[in-house]
Amino acid sequence: MAKTCFKCRKPNHLARDCPMKKSGESGKSGGQKMIATTRVYSLTTDDATASNDVVTGTLMLFSRYASVLFDSGATHSFISNHYASLSERLPEPLETSMFVIMPLGEHINCSSVLVGCPVGIQGSILPTDLVIFNMFGFDVILGMDWLSQNHACVDCFNMRVAFKSKNGEEFSFQEPQESSSSCVISTMQVVQLLRQGCTGFLASLVSPPADGLRLEDI
């Protein structure tokens, strides 16, 4: 398989040999590897459900179903350590080490990437480079690097992501909505709604005895 540049995403060369590299720019400075900073805002399912800026869904990747977060607040695309181990692709070292800023402000170092991972949507393959990251809640986060490359428009209200291919073809991803007889929301959603001015009511439910009511209870 041909190497793909992590900088310009063109084949047959690595980032350190990229012709788009500015003159005088080097992979090392003073004998130390350069460090870039990226951001990931929504990492848990509760955070994603409460957010108005992301879309969640399930896609096929490496012949398995992956839980995916389409996140315009993430500068790069990521894959969890666990899901990356399911791929037959060998991780490659990042030309520039990456510090990920977590929602609570902590910094985590990432140093490897899976190049050219085939993300399939509506019969189209949209390859992406996924930085390996020790995250929980989702298998894959598709950030702005991948969204902008594929001319994606994230419609959070309808939980839909629309794409436009290089030849002008338009297609979209939308997770089917499950029907349910009960309405259940997460604690994060409750907190967000209360902050927006909604009125909350606290109800206390008591389960009746398993053997039913007795005469003296009436």
CB 85 within 8 Å of CB 133: no
The answer to whether residue 209 is domain-embedded is: no
Tens of pLDDT, residue by residue over 110-151, are 889 999 999 988 888 899 999 998 887 789 999 999 999 999
Phi and psi, residue 106, nearest 5°:
-75, 155
26 occurs within a structural domain: no
DSSP label at residue 5 = -
Residue 199 is assigned to a structural domain of this protein: no
Tell me, yes or no, whether 218 lies in a domain: no
Q: Which tens digit of pLDDT belongs to each residue from 57-113?
A: 888 898 888 889 998 888 889 999 889 988 888 999 988 777 777 666 677 888 899
What total number of domains does the chain contain? Answer: 1
Residue 205 lies in a domain: no
From the CB of residue 143, how many other CB atoms can be counted at a distance below 10 Å? 24
Q: Token pair for residue 86?
A: 């399911």
- Burial classification of residue 62, based on how many CB atoms lie within 10 Å of its CB (0-12 exposed, 13-18 middle, 19 or more buried): middle
Query: What pTM was estimated for this model as a whole?
Result: 0.60
Angstrom CA distances, 164 to 69, 94, 155, stand at: 19, 29, 14
What does the pLDDT read at residue 110? 86
The CATH number of whichever domain residue 157 belongs to comes to 2.40.70.10
10 within domain boundaries = no
In a domain, 98, yes or no: yes
Q: Residue 161 is part of which domain span?
A: 15-20+32-174
Q: What is the pLDDT of residues 174-216, one digit of tens each?
A: 877 654 444 666 666 677 677 667 788 877 777 766 666 677 7
| 68 belongs to a structural domain | yes
Residue written as token pair 């927006």: 196
**Residue entry with tokens 């899901």:** 83
